[in-house]
Amino acid sequence: MQLADAQDLDRADKLAAFRDRFVPIDDPGVVAYLDGNSLGRPPLSTMDRLNDLVARQWGSRMIRAWGEGWLELGEQVGDRLGEVCLGAAPGQVIVADSTTVCLHKVIRAAVAMRPGRTEIVTDALNFPTDRYVVEAVAADHGLTVRWVRPDLRAGVSAAQLAEVLSDSTAVVTLSHVAYRSAYLADMAALTELTHAAGALIVWDLCHSAGTVPVRLDAAGADFAVGCTYKFLNAGPGAPAFLYVRAEHRDGFAHPLRGWMGVEDIFAMDEAYRPAAGLRRALSGTPPVAGLVCVAEGAELLGEAGIEQVRAKSLALTRMLITLADEWLAPLGYTLASPRADAERGGHVTLDHPRAAELTPRFIDAGVILDFRAPHGIRLGPAALSTSFTELWTGLDIIRRLS
């Protein structure tokens, strides 16, 4: 595959114009940014929106701005995320806290909904935070963690999950897209299996939100969490989101009770009375700067359309795999992500015995990517901001420097 082929793909790319919607990279040393799956780039509109927030809202409306939209922002942006990429009807998604804190809330709430059951299921390759939260909740409540042990280059299959489910299972927590391999789990099938065992499921959407169309409502998912700083371009440490299926909302109770989660915030009542809606999931004061960044990321994605984004993302990762087969396999690289489109999220990991040593060399040469232990090089082109030419050039440098 030649550079001209990549250029042809760029010319045919319906999302090409979105590249100009991001803050230009003011660093001549950057040749290819292939880390959209770790930190998406800033939309230009985010900069404008932050300036408006500081000068007009915070600076001039001041405290009054809480009554002019800030208080509802978490729910409003959550609804918009539900619409543009999560497949969730309004009233079920709220933006708040970090993924870790959101995960703690939903797993605690889910466990409480299955009294008498003694096990939480997750997989040994799940993202560290997911495993730590599951272990912490289990330890706190005398529950046992049942581990699924998938292949490093794949993810949790229905057969593997079926093996550990039983009438002791309270909650299953899985990642929709595996952070290392990019394996895309079959959300509907695994949710159905979990429900058949009488358990509840919590999906971690960190690596799928904004790049893979998620269908939470249709899949029957009970709970979900996810981050917004990857394919949703909301910036470093922007607040996370959580999803609570409508039918679970009234019974949703988490331990991180705070003043923002009660029905009448300014009554400052003696007793904690959770809000009727999903605001009950909140703890402290909403992080407004982060919320407006999430709002801008969601708008940009909504404008492009998640199906278009998925189509380009697959075209990018298909090209990546083609070039890896052609150029990199002979240099000792092996594909550590699924080859089938239907099983692959938005990134690709290539294993190489010397990955740890090679990664800084690539970064120094302007190809920005991630190392993932033990020997993976993780590449995350972003449909809205990465061109085919950029990806081609990045892989060309990897080939030359390996």
Catalytic (active site) residue 378: yes
**Of the residues 204, 222, 351, 370, which is catalytic?**
204
Provide the CA 282 distance to its chain's centre, in angstroms: 20
Which residues lie below 8 Å from residue 329, measured CB to CB, with a gap of 6+?
none
Candidates 49-57, 303-311, 317-325, 344-352 — which segment interacts with a copy of itself by CB under 8 A? Answer: 49-57
| List 33, 179, 183, 229, catalytic entry | 229
CA distance 367 to 361: 9
Give dist(CA 387, CA 317) in Å, integer: 12
Interface with a copy of itself (CB under 8 A), residue from 17, 51, 158, 330: 51
Alpha carbon 322 to chain centroid, angstroms: 26
CB of 258 to a copy of itself, least distance (A): 3
Nearer to a copy of itself, 124 or 158 (CB): 124
Q: Write the CB contacts of 398 (distance below 8 Å, at least 6 apart in sequence).
A: 328, 358, 362, 367, 377
- Catalytic residue status for 127: yes
Beta pairing partners, 94:
242
Using the rule CB under 8 A, which residue among 39, 379, 384, 395 binds a copy of itself? 39
DSSP 154: S
204 classed as catalytic: yes
Instruction: Kindly identify the residues of this chain, within the stretch 104-133, that bind a copy of itself according to CB under 8 A.
Output: 104, 124, 127-129, 131-133
The CA radius of gyration of the chain, in Å to the nearest whole number, is: 21
Main-chain dihedrals φ then ψ at residue 314, nearest 5 degrees: -65, -40
Annotation marks residue 250 as catalytic:
no
DSSP 32-53: EE-BTTTSPPPBHHHHHHHHHI
Active site residue 362: no
Binding mask 68-107 for a copy of itself (x = CB under 8 A): --x--------------------------xxxxx--x---
Residue 55 found at the interface with a copy of itself (CB under 8 A): yes
Nearer to a copy of itself, 27 or 247 (CB): 27
Q: Within 13 A of 313's CA, how many CA atoms are on the CB side?
A: 31
Shortest distance in whole angstroms from residue 367 CB to a copy of itself: 12
Interface with a copy of itself by CB under 8 A: which range of 13-21, 86-94, 269-277, 310-318?
269-277
286: contact with a copy of itself by CB under 8 A: yes
C-alpha–C-alpha distance, residues 167 and 199, integer Å: 8
Under the binding rule (CB under 8 A), the answer on residue 61 touching a copy of itself is yes
- Least distance (Å) between residue 188 CB and a copy of itself: 28
What residue ranges in 101-248 does DSSP mark as E strands?
119-123, 144-148, 169-175, 200-204, 223-226, 240-244
Q: Does 27 bind a copy of itself (CB under 8 A)?
A: yes
Q: How far is CA 119 from CA 45, 67, 93, 190, 356, in A?
A: 45, 43, 26, 17, 37
> In this structure, which amino acid lies at residue 235?
G
> Can you tell me which of 19, 21, 248, 257 binds a copy of itself, judged by CB under 8 A?
257
Binding residue for a copy of itself, selected from 12, 237, 329, 331, defined by CB under 8 A: 237
Please select the residue that binds a copy of itself; options are 18, 32, 46, 77, rule is CB under 8 A.
46
- Which of 124, 83, 241, 101 has its CA nearest to residue 109? 101
Q: In the complex, what is the shortest distance from the CB of residue 171 to a copy of itself, in angstroms, rounded to a whole number? A: 16
Q: Which of residues 330-389 bind a copy of itself (CB under 8 A)?
A: 363, 368, 370-373
* Shortest reach from residue 99's CB to a copy of itself, in Å: 5
For the segment 163-222, give every residue that binds a copy of itself (CB under 8 A): none
- Evaluated on CA atoms 70, 303, 87, 202, the torsion sign reads negative
Q: Would you please indicate which residues are annotated as catalytic (active-site) residues?
A: 127, 204, 229-230, 378
